[in-house]
Amino acid sequence: MEHIGNDAASPDESSEWHSIDWKAVMQFVGKAQMRIAQAETEKDFRRVARLTRSLIRSWQARALAVRKVTENQGKRTSGIDCVLLDTPTKKWNAISCLVSRGYRAKPLRRVWIPKPNGKERPLGIPTMKDRAMQALFLLALEPAVECASDPNSYGFRKGRSTHDARSQLFVSLSQKASASWVLDADISGFFDNINHDWLLNHVHMDKVTLRKWLKSGVIDAGQLQRTDEGTPQGGIISPTLANITLNGLETGLMRFLRGKLKAKGVAAGKVNLVRYADDFVVTGSSKELLETVVRPWIVEFLRERGLTLSEEKTRIVHIDQGFDFLGWNFRKYGGKLLIKPNQKNVKAFYGKVKEIIATSVSVPTETLIKRLSPIFKGWAQYHRGTVAKQTFNKIDSLIYWRLMRWGLRRHPRKTSGWVYEHYWKQCGSRKQFAGLQDDPFGGVERIPLPLYRLSDMKIVRHTKVKGDYNPFHPDWVAYGEKLRVQRMGETIWSAQRASLWFDQGGKCALCEQNIDMADENMDDHHIVYRQLGGSDALSNRVLLHPICHRRVHALGLKVIKPVPSTGDFNLAKQSKVVQPDDAV
pLDDT per residue as tens digits for the range 316-325: 999 999 999 9
* pLDDT, averaged across the chain: 87
Q: Which amino acid is at 388?
A: A
Query: Could you tell me if residue 438 is inside a domain?
Result: yes
Tell which residue, 38, 18, 9, has the closest CA to residue 577: 18
User: 46-77 burial, b for 16+ CB within 10 Å, e for fewer?
Assistant: eebbebbeebbebebbbbbbbbbbbeeeeeee
Residue 511's pLDDT is 87
Q: Write the CB contacts of 300 (distance below 8 Å, at least 6 apart in sequence).
A: none
Burial of residue 336 (CB within 10 Å: 0-12, 13-18, 19+) is exposed
Strands 272-276 and 279-284: antiparallel
The angle formed by the CA atoms of residues 55, 56 and 61, to the nearest 5 degrees, is 75
Any idea how long the chain is?
A: 584
Lowest mean pLDDT among 88-97, 516-525, 536-545: 516-525
Residues 360 and 444 in one domain: yes
Q: Kindly state whether residues 350 and 418 are assigned to the same domain.
A: yes
Kindly state whether residues 379 and 447 are assigned to the same domain: yes
Which one-letter amino acid corresponds to residue 334? G
Over residues 498-510, mean pLDDT: 84
pLDDT at 577 exceeding the cut of 60: no
Show the domain range for 543: 492-555
Task: Indicate whether 384 and 448 sit together in one domain.
Answer: yes
| Angle in degrees, CA 376, 169, 276, rounded to 5 | 70
* pLDDT level of residue 10 (50, 70, 90 thresholds): low
269 inside domain? no
State which of 406, 434, 456 marks the end of a domain. Answer: 456
pLDDT band at 549 (very low <50, low <70, confident <90, very high): confident
Question: Of 400-404, 416-420, 545-549, which range is least confident?
Answer: 545-549
Residue 408: how many CB atoms within 10 A of its CB? 15
In this structure, is residue 292 part of a structural domain? no
Instruction: Report CA-CA distances (Å) from 323 to 83, 183, 343, 515.
Output: 45, 9, 11, 36
Whether residue 399 contacts residue 353, with contact meaning beta carbons closer than 8 Å, is answered with: yes
- What is the DSSP track for 155-199? TT-TT--HHHHHHHHHHHHSSTTS--EEEEE-BTTHHHH--HHHH
pLDDT on residue 14: 62
Same domain, 531 and 448: no
pLDDT at position 534 is 72
In a domain, 293, yes or no: no
Mean predicted confidence (pLDDT) in 404-414: 95
Of 282-291, 390-399, 492-501, where does mean pLDDT reach its minimum?
492-501
The tally of domains found in the chain comes to 2
Does residue 526 lie within any of the structural domains? yes
Same domain, 434 and 365: yes
Q: Is the pLDDT of residue 62 over 90?
A: yes
Q: Is the pLDDT of residue 56 over 90?
A: yes
Residue 513: which CATH number? 3.40.1800
Shared domain check, 518 and 446: no
pLDDT tens digits, one per residue of 181-237: 999 999 998 998 999 999 999 999 999 999 999 999 999 888 999 999 888 888 899
Q: What is the pLDDT of residue 5?
A: 38
Whether residue 384 is predicted with pLDDT greater than 50 in this model: the reply is yes
Asked which of 13-17, 307-311, 384-388 is least confident by mean pLDDT, the reply is: 13-17
